């Protein structure tokens, strides 16, 4: 009653409150805000309307989730998408998750590392391998099936400047029609080619605004050689950051020091910068490393959808559910 009186007496207070609430980041309850990068010992996680269960590598974390460590040597490493910062929950601790980090419920203080994304929350996209919310329209009936999509999956965008594109090689003499669309989906230009590769010219790349998403596709007559999917033309700082992160990953790999958290880190970089093909290649290897982990197939499902290969996406989604993953498909 007192609150109502205050709001009537001071209407500007109500306006200020509304503005403050509107300024808060809106996150759907079913969209992850973080991912489990590494697990040591006995660690459990509790999602909404579920009981505690063992936590696994690559498990998505949602607002309101609770995590718990039990026993000596148990620890949990979580990476948050808003700025790629990491947090470590020590032994015998419990915490709840929000969009920006963990809040301690019991146990030692949570270790919070500094942000590792130099661009801030607005400088890169949300990582599509986690944040895409599945809907029925993602899985249309097509005539291609798994076999027909194998050729489409050969397409690659090499992460260089200007971008280099290549795709499935068809019989000699085939004419390929390459189409590139701007970030609004409007056709920009097309080329008819006799080769199965194309490097954008310096002039083409310079005319395209940087830091935004484009899409491309290739047809050969009625055959879809590359199903339309996105790539980013990065700004120089973004390109430099991506190159640095790739070098860190490759250096650790060469020295035999890669941990699962390093795979997670580089996957996030690729997903945030729309390096779709690198994300796909990483996930192939991660599936080999941990074939019974439903979270790998959760991420793979979304990469296949981004590549416009719904049959492969459906197959991965089925595997995820068979392995105990919870990943609803909405109307």
Query: What is the CATH classification number for the domain harbouring 164?
Result: 2.60.40.10
- Return the residue matching tokens 């805000």: 33
- End-of-domain residue from the set 233, 264, 286: 233
User: What pLDDT does residue 2 have?
Assistant: 40
Q: Is residue 43 part of a domain?
A: yes
Would you say residue 208 lies in a domain? Answer: yes
On whether both 161 and 219 belong to a single domain, the answer is yes
User: For the chain, how big is the Rg over CA atoms in Å?
Assistant: 22
Single residue among 91, 116, 141 that ends a domain in this structure:
116
Structure tokens at 159: 């992460």
Contact 96, 66 (CB under 8 A): yes
The reply to whether 266 falls in a domain is: no
317 inside domain: no
Asked whether residue 185 is domain-assigned, the answer is yes
Q: 158 with 228, same domain?
A: yes
pLDDT at 13: 39
Sheet holding 212-220, edge to edge: 187-193, 176-181, 212-220, 223-233
Please write the tens of the pLDDT for every residue from 234-264. 999 999 999 999 999 999 999 999 999 999 9
Are 276 and 306 in contact, with CB atoms under 8 Å apart? yes
- Predicted structure pTM score: 0.89
What is the per-residue pLDDT for 8? 46
- Rounded to whole angstroms, the Cα distance separating 202 from 200 reads 7
Residue 42: which domain range?
A: 34-116
Contact 116, 94 (CB under 8 A): no
Strand partners, 70: 42
Which residues in the chain show pLDDT less than 50? 1-27
- Across the chain, mean pLDDT equals 91
Considering the domain architecture, whether residues 163 and 102 belong to the same structural domain is answered as no
Domain termination site, one of 98, 116, 134? 116
CA distances from 195 to 177, 189, 191 (A): 10, 17, 11
In a domain, 125, yes or no: no
The two three-digit tokens of residue 268, written as one number: 């996030």
Q: Is there a domain that residue 138 lies in? A: no
- Looking at residue 256, its pLDDT comes to 97
CA 240, 84, 299, 27 torsion: positive or negative?
A: negative
Domain count, the chain: 2
| Chain segment 192-244, per-residue pLDDT in tens | 999 999 999 999 999 999 999 999 999 999 999 999 999 999 999 999 999 99
Residue 163 lies in a domain: yes
Q: Specify the length of the chain in residues.
A: 331
């Amino acid at each position: 009653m007192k609150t109502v009186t205050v709001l009537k007496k001071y209407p500007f207070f109500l306006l200020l409150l509304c503005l403050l609430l509107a300024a808060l980041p809106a996150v759907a309850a079913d969209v992850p805000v973080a991912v489990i990068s590494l697990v040591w010992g006995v660690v459990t996680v509790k999602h909404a309307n579920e009981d505690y269960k063992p936590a696994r590598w690559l498990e998505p974390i949602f607002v309101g989730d609770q995590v718990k460590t039990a026993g000596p040597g148990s620890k949990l490493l979580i990476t948050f998408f808003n700025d790629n910062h990491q947090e470590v929950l020590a032994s015998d601790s419990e915490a709840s998750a929000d969009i920006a980090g963990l809040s301690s419920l019991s146990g030692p203080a949570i270790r919070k590392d500094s942000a590792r994304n130099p661009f801030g929350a607005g400088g890169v996209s949300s990582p599509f391998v986690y944040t895409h919310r599945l809907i029925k329209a993602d899985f249309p009936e097509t005539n291609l099936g798994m076999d027909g999509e194998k050729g489409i999956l050969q397409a690659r965008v090499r992460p260089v400047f200007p971008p280099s594109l290549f795709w499935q090689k068809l019989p000699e003499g085939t004419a390929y029609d390459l189409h590139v669309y701007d970030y609004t989906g409007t056709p920009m230009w097309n080329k008819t080619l006799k080769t199965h590769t194309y490097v954008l010219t310096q002039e083409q790349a310079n005319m395209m605004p940087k830091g935004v998403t484009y899409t491309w596709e290739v047809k050969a007559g009625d055959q879809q050689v590359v199903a339309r999917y996105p790539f980013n033309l990065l700004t120089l700082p973004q390109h430099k950051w991506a190159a640095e992160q790739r070098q860190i990953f490759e250096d650790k790999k060469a020295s035999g020091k890669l941990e699962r958290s390093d795979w997670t880190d580089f996957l996030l970089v690729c997903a945030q910068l729309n390096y779709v093909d690198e994300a796909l290649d990483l996930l192939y290897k991660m599936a080999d490393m941990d074939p019974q982990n439903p979270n790998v197939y959760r991420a793979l499902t979304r990469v296949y959808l981004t590549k416009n290969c719904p049959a492969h996406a459906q197959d991965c989604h089925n595997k995820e559910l068979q392995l105990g993953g919870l990943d609803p498909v909405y109307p």
